[in-house]
Chain A
Amino acid sequence: MGTSYQAVGWNRQKKIYDWFIFGFCVTYLGIFISLSSIFNSQVTFETLLIRSTSTLAALLLHVILSIGPLTRINTKFLPLLYNRRHLGVTMFMIAAIHGSFSIMQFHSLGNVNPLVSLFTSNTRFDSLPGFPFQALGFFALVIFFLMAITSHDFWLHNLSPKVWKTLHMFVYAAYFLVVLHVMLGVIQFETNPMFVIILLIGTAILIILHLAAGTKEVHIDNVKFDMETDGFVKVCDVNDIEEDKAKMFCIGKERIAVYKTQGKLFAVNNVCKHQNGPLGEGKVLDGCITCPWHGYQYLPHNGQSPPPFKEKVSTYDVMIGGVTVWVNPKPYPEGTERPGATIAIPRPVDEKISESLILNN
């Protein structure tokens, strides 16, 4: 979190992350270009540039799309998620080299504007093998461009988290376009099945990871809460929640995180205002609920980010009956202060005995 916008709020972790991105990209490009030049010596510079950047961008896209579900499956992958936008912008820049150079190579110096040529050269929209695959790649690049230029928190706040998240979910549409771009393009020319096999494996890995992560979410969402008293729903035992941590519940349409801290329970909305991160997987640090995705913080009793920050989440009533925790899933307006529920501290047994002796005497 920051009180003002910077292009990149550099810290040690970000630098390490970016150095790894750089190292992996250089390794891939170095090997691809060297081997292509040695074993396919007739290759031209233009083709090397177009193919090395396209395949690297596709590889990075698969890595990017795998990070989300990996962190849902195991939160220890969170360091990969925190700076994922750096990976995304890198992928866009590499894809942009591929796209712009392809447009130059295949459409410039002709009798019409290159962008007009892109959409008017191949007009076989009625044929699957003849389909104009370059236009598909162009639209994918447009999506990546919009995502890259809006990747900064400035846009997140100004577009609103909902619009921003919706826009960035278009990455899946872009991925679909990329797969079609490859399948209807170069794969129709190359005779080695390796290209199809690699693409299918990549897609299969992403589908499996997303299904695994989704299954975990569905498991939380499908928990039934039957016992209701005055709108309150029985959710768990007090002892099920660790100190300074939370348990998450999906009651009706409400995603709620019940935190235990400083002898009390507080219920807040589980969805972080930054990028919809799961607040219930966070921790109370310095008295604040801290989102595990990007470290956004909220005060447990009112769901407000500590000043000067302005993010707010909804709060809920919570109460304890014996050792049972009850939550009312009706949300209060974002940032509404709630008292929480005090956890009764069980007195030691010897204290009870001495009290009984005094009474008997």
Chain B
Amino acid sequence: MNKSEFYIGWMPKAPGGFRRLVRKYLLVLLPIVVALAVAIALSQKKFDTGSFEFGKLTEVKGIYSRTPVPNLKIVNGKDIWGNYSYITVPLIGYGKHGADGVIAEMEKDKNKSFEQRQLTLKGTLLYNDGKLLMQIDANDKPLVNVGDMASQDLLPHVEDLGIQTIKGEIVDPKCYFGVMKPGQGKPHRDCAIRCILGGIPPVMQVRNNKGEANYYLIVGSSGEKMNEAVQDFVAEPTELQARVVKYDDWVVMYVNKEKMHHISFFSLIGYDTQPATCGKKCLN
């Protein structure tokens, strides 16, 4: 390098010594940039296989119930033993809102309660890990038909599983089951809180030591909404004590607010409780 060289940025060309060093710097920087792009891209956790059928509306017919959360029980004939084959589809609203407002508007419009009636609704499906949910948006005019009251044998089969203590992570089911990836954990925490505060029912995700996940709808001890009460617990390792009740293919936890606790991340490792196993067993 020539020591007398002097660089001025407003001149058209840098002196040779400066050009050579900068060229070397760029030659070192380029593989670093490439290596970082490769390393970071390949180190990301794998995303779930959940789907949100964005832009696609599907009509579904089922029995509406507002408890424990607004849902539609879709019956698809009977199996070889004569039992009804069904799936319960929790309903959620557009954006970060629950479905209660849309349902209430439709009931007001039709001047009748939809409880335990056959409804045909049009909405956007989202699904993952054996669970199906449907978004209904007032702009899509989701109500296709209001039918008769459902027969008694089609109403939810309820089974009390007793008081249980469960450890897991509270998620918002809309993002978790399809809209966002990742739809859980710290990066998604604010969104999950906003969704739950907007009326989307909170769900406890519990993993057993085989890595299988079970999902529990969360409501208050008397069936009231728990959306605001869980705000500080969303997306964090949480332990709660609840009365666990099976509603067909969903398990609901009636949670006492005083029995919710933050726990350390490590206490979830190797966790395999009876309710988690039961949850899997409950999915007939």
Q: Which A residues fall within an 8 A CB radius of B?
A: 1, 9, 11-14, 20, 24, 27-28, 31-32, 35-36, 39-40, 42-44, 46-47, 51, 55, 59, 63, 74-80, 82-83, 105-112, 117-118, 121-124, 127, 129-130, 132-134, 184-186, 188-192, 194-195, 198, 282-283, 285, 290, 292, 294-295
Contacts and interface: CB of A to CB of B under 8 A. Distances in A.
Given A32-B37, A76-B18, A188-B185, A110 B198 contact: yes
A35 B42 CA distance: 7
Given A12-B13, A46-B180, 4 more contacts: A77-B22, A111-B194, A130-B232, A192-B43
B161 interface: no
Contacts of A32: 37, 40-41
Contact of B96 (A36, A44, A80, A111): A111
Interface string B180-196: 11100111111101110
A42 B37 contact: no
Most buried by A among B26, B50, B181: B181
Contact of B37 (A35, A76, A121): A35
A74 B262 CA distance: 52
B10 A31 contact: no
Contacts of A117: 190, 194
A79 B18 contact: yes
B46 interface: yes
B7 A31 contact: no
Contacts of A55: 36-37, 40
B8 A40 contact: no
14 contacts: A11-B10, A11-B12, A13-B9, A28-B33, A36-B44, A42-B50, A47-B47, A63-B29, A78-B18, A110-B198, A111-B97, A129-B186, A129-B236, A130-B236
A28 B34 CA distance: 6
A43 B49 CA distance: 9
B6 A110 contact: no
B41 A190 contact: no
B29 A24 contact: yes
B38 interface: yes
Given A24-B30, A80-B25, A107-B194, A285 B44 contact: no
B7 A292 contact: yes
A123 B187 CA distance: 15
The size bracket of the interface on B is: 35 or more
A353 to B, nearest CB: 35
Interface in B31-82: 33-34, 36-50
Contact of B22 (A31, A79, A129, A282): A79
Contacts of B186: 129, 133, 184-186, 188-189
Given A74-B21, A76-B18, A107 B97 contact: no
B227 to A, nearest CB: 10
Interface string B203-237: 00000000000000000000000000001100010
Nearest to A80: B22
A109 B179 CA distance: 13
Given A83-B9, A295-B8, A28 B193 contact: no
Contacts of A63: 29
Contacts of A107: 190-191, 194
